[in-house]
Structure formats: structure tokens, C-alpha cells
């Protein structure tokens, strides 16, 4: 094999997670103005598997979608999505995947829970904040539209991620 094995793994995992996140965006259930998707599940999985390097596939996903590749929710694309009412979630996902990835490196259930909670709360803050700016909505309206409909689903997704992480650790599998 030529080159660095870790670099090869990083490239391969990045490609796989960009694809998974894109597919997760196509799995979309419209709830009010903000669609329910599986994007954040695959972003959290990237953070759990790739640790601090999760910002690479999440950043590439946001960049490719912004440049016009139809990989955002329901096959949308372009700068308009990033600047639209849901754009704050994309920025939040990018930033919080890095935070979560760093916390997953600690390999502790407590840090895992902190990673999952911070990813969710941070994503909600960026998403609801940008929603308020772009639509003129009040704080209450933003919470009702951008947070409350998703909390239960996000808790379930986070629990599934933690089960996967614990099983990988128990099996002695540390991918990156």
C-alpha cells in the first residue's frame, strides 16, 4: 500500500459519510417548515467513528450542497438553502460534529452523552437562531418550529448511536 494507512482510512470514511449524510437528507419527513431527516444521525455516527475528523465529511457535505450538488433535504441544493430558514442547522451540524468528535475521543460513556447532548443543543441553537433571523420569528415560534418536533426523534437517534459506540468499543474496534 502506498502512503499513510490512516490517511487512506480518513479519505475512505469521509467519502462514505458524505454519501450517508446525503442519503440521510433524502430520507425526509416534512414537519412544519423544518424537515425531519436522518442527516444528523449520520453526522453523529461520523463523529463517533471519525472523532475530530468528522468535520471533514460534514464540511464537504455542506460545501458540495452549497455549490449546487442536490444533496440537501429532498434533493435541494445551493446557497439559497444555506441562507434559507434551515441553513443554521447545516452550520450547527458542521461546528457541533467537531465538538462531538473531540468528546467521543475520550472513550467514556459520560463524554459520549455530553457529545450527544451538545451536538443536539448546539444544532438547535444554530438552527433556531438562524430561523429567527431569516424569518423574523419569535423565540417561542422558533422553538415550536425548530426544536420541539425533533427532540424525541433526536433522543432516539442519540441512543442508537451510543449503542453502536458501546458495541464497537466492546469488540475492541477503534476505526480512526
Query: Is 126:88 a contact under the CB 8 Å cutoff?
Result: yes
* Residues of the chain where predicted confidence (pLDDT) is lower than 70: 1-3, 32-34
CA gyration radius, the chain: 16
| pLDDT of 38 | 93
- Report the alpha-carbon distance of residue 60 to residue 76 in Å, rounded: 16
- Report the alpha-carbon distance of residue 110 to residue 5 in Å, rounded: 30
| pLDDT of 39 | 93
The per-residue pLDDT for range 32-77, each reduced to its tens digit, is 666 778 999 999 999 999 999 999 999 999 999 999 999 998 889 9
Q: Please state the three-class secondary structure of 22-69 as a single string.
A: HHHHHCEEEECCEEEECHHHHHHHHHHHHHHHHHHHHHHHHHHHHCCC
Domains of the chain by start residue, with CATH: 5-170 (1.10.1760.20)
Amino acid at each position: 500500500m502506498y502512503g499513510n494507512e490512516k490517511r487512506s482510512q480518513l479519505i475512505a470514511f469521509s467519502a462514505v459519510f458524505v454519501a450517508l449524510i446525503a442519503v440521510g437528507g433524502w430520507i425526509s419527513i416534512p414537519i412544519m417548515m423544518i424537515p425531519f431527516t436522518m442527516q444528523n444521525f449520520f453526522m453523529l455516527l461520523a463523529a463517533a467513528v471519525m472523532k475530530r475528523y468528522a468535520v471533514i465529511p460534514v464540511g464537504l457535505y455542506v460545501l458540495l450542497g452549497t455549490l449546487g450538488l442536490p444533496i440537501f433535504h429532498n434533493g435541494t441544493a445551493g446557497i439559497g438553502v444555506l441562507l434559507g430558514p434551515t441553513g443554521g442547522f447545516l452550520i450547527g451540524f458542521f461546528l457541533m460534529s467537531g465538538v462531538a468528535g473531540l468528546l467521543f475521543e475520550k472513550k467514556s460513556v459520560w463524554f459520549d452523552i455530553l457529545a450527544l447532548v451538545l451536538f443536539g443543543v448546539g444544532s438547535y441553537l444554530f438552527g433556531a437562531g438562524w430561523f429567527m433571523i431569516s424569518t423574523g420569528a419569535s423565540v417561542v415560534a422558533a422553538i415550536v418550529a425548530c426544536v420541539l418536533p425533533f427532540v424525541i426523534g433526536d433522543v432516539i437517534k442519540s441512543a442508537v448511536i451510543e449503542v453502536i459506540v458501546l458495541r464497537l468499543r466492546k469488540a475492541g474496534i477503534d476505526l480512526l
